[in-house]
Structure 1
Amino acid sequence: MSTSPNSEEFYKKLKGQLEEANNWPAEYLYKFIVKSNLDKIAKIDAIFDNMGAVITTHESKNGKYTSVSVSLLMRNPDAVIEKYKEVAEKVEGVISL
């Protein structure tokens, strides 16, 4: 994929897909991968704190990486994208899926 996940073009395309796929507000599932580091996982937890999110983590087989899944009710595509940007800004090395 030639589009950088941090580019405005990427987010514009994502917004269009979200608008087509859901009736808002809707339950949304975020998936992130970080190097297994409690500080990075805690930062993701803090970003979604007090929002009613269900957060689960799963460590890779060798323990080097951790996947973080965040499920919560979001009001619209713009709110979904705001959180993606916030995570990318605050958590170094995060991969958003």
Structure 2
Amino acid sequence: MEKNKSEEFYKRLRAQLIDDTDWPSNYLYKFIVPTDKEKIEGINRIFDNTGAVIESKLSNKGTYTSISVMVHLSGPDEVIEKYIEVSAIEGVISL
């Protein structure tokens, strides 16, 4: 059931990205992750060698880190591919 939900989500996202954006384009990802060095480094590794600009900000209590990633991509499939890679990191919330 969860897999179908993900497939539907990505199908809608892909259609929206095609309709709303002229590709290639910059895309802004926003993630919230428990403040854990390995998880944050995992996100950074996913965007290594892409020319991405990555900004991190610690929450007030320091338990979470928000991560913004601005990256130039060629199309919606690349956007979705990165979301899927990041979703493999436990505890990450994609906004």
Q: Where does the alignment leave 5 or more consecutive residues of structure 1 unmatched?
A: none
1:63 match: 62
Shift of 1:23: 0.3
- After superposition, where does 1:33-52 map in structure 2 within 5 Å? 33-52=32-51
TM-score (normalised: structure 1): 0.91
1:96 match: 94
Shift of 1:20: 1.0
1:28 match: 27
TM-score (normalised: structure 2): 0.93
SS in 2 for 1:33: strand
Letter in structure 2 aligned against 1:93: G
Letter in structure 2 aligned against 1:81: I
SS in 2 for 1:34: strand
Summarize deviations over 1:36-77 as a string: whole Å, max 9, x none: 111100000000001100000011111110001100101000
Shift of 1:28: 0.2
- After superposition, where does 1:77-88 map in structure 2 within 5 Å? 77-88=76-87
2:7 match: 8
Letter in structure 2 aligned against 1:53: A
Off by >2 Å, runs of 4+ in structure 1? none
SS in 2 for 1:18: helix
Distance (Å, rounded) in 1 between the aligned partners of 2:16 and 2:58? 29
Q: CA RMSD in A?
A: 1.4
Q: Percent identity?
A: 55
